[in-house]
């Protein structure tokens, strides 16, 4: 029954999109034919492709990653400057907007349920659809695997710091999504294009800095196009394939050594959704993300409750070891760095990616989407990452366990199965769905970067979608470690121009906020529930 409903969610948006655009299903058929042709030629040569590409890309990747993740020594701890850049921005915007990340939570909920929404507002998505689509791009494999690594290396205290970082990151998300809506572009067909590229170009031009904003915009667009193909696509499909093999029998699975088959099937499903554009993506994510999040949260809470006797120790350890850690060298600063780094990697606050999808929301008030975006780091980092750490701490955690040979999602799976023996397979399929939804969101991010550079046209969009799906299939077949490292670096380099633009636009965003709050408290902006 669940499979039938999932198929309906995928097929219906596509059908509606084809009818709305008066396109023949032949467009989709041609896209799939192109994918099959590309993918079918790869399996026999896959063994040599990865080695060739890795060898060619290694010196480039090392140079780029060395620059982007350049580390400085602070009191005996190595801190990547890009993480410091993200942390500094989060702290600045938290104070600049007077802790709106805490004050605005109630109003964000009212906006999310549609209290202030009008159907006639320009845009393509509801507040809820924008939120779930953006969350689908952040909540994923990293919440299940990277958190486990952070806890085992940094100890319980790391949990405290990525909770703090999650709260601070809410302010950065607010700033970038307000700017995204304010400077978005409404295309002739009614579709929306927005995100950092647009507020860099137009926003900085309005402040007499057009000479800086334009090259920053193109740099950002190029980075997200390349970056989305790796970390938001190939990595996700590879992890989905590995989890699928595990869930279907491990080494005895029919799909062992059949990455090409799984990759092709995944590419077809992704293509069926993304060809319908952001409305189609949002219709899927608005149903998929709440289901995935609820299933994972319920499972985590069940494990925690069944091990409730360990909760007092876990909470005590989280607080005490945040300031006096025993699991990591470097003391408090070392564990703080690990916690902040995990949060920054997880919720993407400061990278600007979420602003691309939030720009498509139906609203006439840019500030409203800033409020809604506040909830993303809260859901991703404060809730899901914290639950993951509590599952580990109340089950299998032992000081020094980092060297036991288990990594990432294996640790999380072991933590769940230690209490719920039947949870391994369901957890694997949740991980697959996490990866799938992340691919959907990042396809849209990359598409908007692609069309910003090359211009808006249906043919250019189709070319990108074919390319994106082909790379997704490729990720299941070969191990392009260097390419993934390169794309990861480009994802984080986006923070450099994005945060610089937000600093410049901060006074504009604050004026928008003050105006909105004054009209809200004065009764000019009315709730339709009143």
Tell me whether residue 130 is in a domain. Answer: yes
CATH number for 125: 1.20.1740
Q: What are phi and psi of 201, to 5 degrees?
A: -70, -55
pLDDT tens digit at each of 530 positions of the chain:
333 333 333 344 434 443 444 444 455 555 556 655 555 555 555 555 556 666 666 777 777 777 777 877 776 667 788 888 888 999 999 999 999 988 988 888 888 887 777 766 767 788 888 888 888 877 776 677 778 777 877 788 888 888 898 899 999 999 999 999 999 988 887 788 899 999 999 999 999 999 999 999 999 999 899 888 877 888 888 878 877 887 777 777 787 777 778 888 888 888 888 887 778 888 888 888 888 888 889 989 999 999 999 999 999 988 888 887 665 655 667 777 777 777 777 778 889 988 999 998 888 889 999 999 999 989 888 888 889 889 989 988 877 665 555 556 677 877 888 888 777 778 888 888 888 888 888 999 999 999 999 988 888 888 899 889 888 888 777 665 666 677 667 778 889 999 999 999 999 999 999 999 999 888 887 777 65
Tell me whether residue 57 is in a domain. Answer: no
What residues have CB less than 8 Å from 184, skipping those under 6 apart? Answer: 192, 193, 194, 195, 198, 359, 360
Spatial contact of 128 and 357, defined as CB atoms under 8 Å apart: no
Helix (H) or strand (E) holding 529: none
Tell me whether residue 186 is in a domain. Answer: yes
What's the pTM value of the predicted model, to 2 decimals?
Answer: 0.85
Tell me whether residue 28 is in a domain. Answer: no
Q: Please tell me the total count of domains within the chain.
A: 1
CA distance 119 to 438: 28
What does DSSP say about strands 77-80 and 71-74: parallel, antiparallel, or unpaired?
A: antiparallel
Tell me whether residue 304 is in a domain. Answer: yes
Tell me whether residue 388 is in a domain. Answer: yes
Tell me whether residue 184 is in a domain. Answer: yes
Tell me whether residue 331 is in a domain. Answer: yes
Question: In this structure, what token pair is assigned to residue 100?
Answer: 């709106």
Domain span at residue 365 reads 76-254+282-457+487-521
Count Cβ atoms within 10 A of the Cβ of residue 320 and give its class: 0-12 exposed, 13-18 middle, 19 or more buried: middle
Count Cβ atoms within 10 A of the Cβ of residue 458 and give its class: 0-12 exposed, 13-18 middle, 19 or more buried: exposed
Question: In this structure, what token pair is assigned to residue 356?
Answer: 């691309």
Spatial contact of 350 and 192, defined as CB atoms under 8 Å apart: no
CA distance 221 to 208: 21
């Amino acid at each position: 029954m669940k499979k039938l409903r999932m198929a309906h969610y995928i097929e219906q948006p596509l059908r509606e999109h084809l009818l709305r655009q008066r396109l023949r299903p032949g467009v989709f058929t041609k896209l799939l034919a192109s994918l099959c042709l590309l993918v079918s030629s790869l399996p026999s040569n896959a063994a040599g492709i990865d080695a060739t590409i890795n060898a060619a890309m290694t010196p480039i990747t090392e140079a780029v990653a060395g620059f982007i993740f350049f580390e400085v020594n602070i009191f005996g701890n190595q801190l990547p400057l890009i993480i410091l850049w993200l942390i500094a921005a989060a702290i600045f915007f938290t104070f600049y907007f007077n802790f709106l990340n805490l004050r605005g939570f109630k109003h964000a909920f009212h906006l999310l349920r549609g209290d202030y929404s009008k159907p006639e507002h320009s845009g393509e998505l509801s507040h809820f659809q924008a939120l779930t689509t953006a969350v689908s791009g952040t909540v994923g494999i990293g919440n299940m695997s990277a958190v486990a690594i952070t806890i085992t290396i940094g100890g319980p205290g790391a949990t405290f710091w990525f909770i703090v970082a999650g709260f601070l990151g809410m302010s950065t998300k607010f700033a970038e999504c307000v700017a995204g809506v304010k400077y978005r572009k409404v295309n002739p067909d009614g579709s929306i294009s927005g995100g950092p590229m647009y507020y860099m170009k137009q926003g900085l031009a309005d402040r007499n800095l057009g000479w800086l904003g334009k090259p920053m915009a193109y740099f950002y667009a190029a980075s997200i196009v390349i970056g989305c193909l790796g970390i938001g696509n190939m990595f996700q499909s590879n992890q989905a394939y590995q989890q699928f093999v595990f869930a279907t029998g491990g080494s005895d699975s029919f799909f062992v050594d059949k990455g090409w088959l799984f990759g092709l099937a995944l590419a077809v499903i992704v293509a069926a959704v993304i060809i319908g554009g952001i409305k189609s993506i949002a219709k899927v994510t608005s149903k998929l993300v709440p289901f995935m999040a609820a299933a994972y949260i319920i499972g985590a809470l069940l494990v925690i409750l069944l091990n409730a006797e360990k909760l007092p120790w876990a909470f005590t350890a989280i607080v005490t070891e945040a300031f006096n850690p025993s699991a990591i060298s470097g003391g408090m600063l070392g564990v703080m760095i690990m916690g902040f780094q995990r949060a920054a990697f997880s919720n993407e606050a400061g990278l600007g990616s979420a602003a691309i999808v939030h720009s498509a929301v139906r609203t006439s008030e840019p500030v409203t989407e800033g409020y809604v975006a506040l909830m993303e780091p809260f859901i991703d980092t404060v809730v899901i990452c914290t639950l993951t750490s509590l599952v580990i701490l109340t089950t299998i955690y032992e000081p020094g366990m980092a060297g036991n040979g288990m990594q990432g999602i294996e640790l999380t799976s072991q933590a769940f199965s230690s209490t719920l023996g039947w949870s391994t397979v369901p957890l694997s399929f949740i991980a697959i769905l996490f990866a799938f939804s992340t691919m959907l969101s990042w396809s849209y991010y990359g598409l908007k970067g692609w069309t910003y550079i090359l211009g808006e046209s249906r043919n250019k969009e189709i070319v990108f979608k074919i390319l994106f799906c082909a790379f997704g299939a490729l990720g299941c077949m070969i191990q392009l470690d260097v390419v993934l490292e390169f794309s990861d670096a480009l994802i984080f380099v986006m923070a450099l121009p994005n945060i610089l633009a937000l600093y410049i636009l901060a006074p504009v965003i604050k004026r928008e906020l003050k105006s909105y709050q004054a009209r809200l408290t004065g009764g000019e902006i009315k709730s339709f529930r009143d």
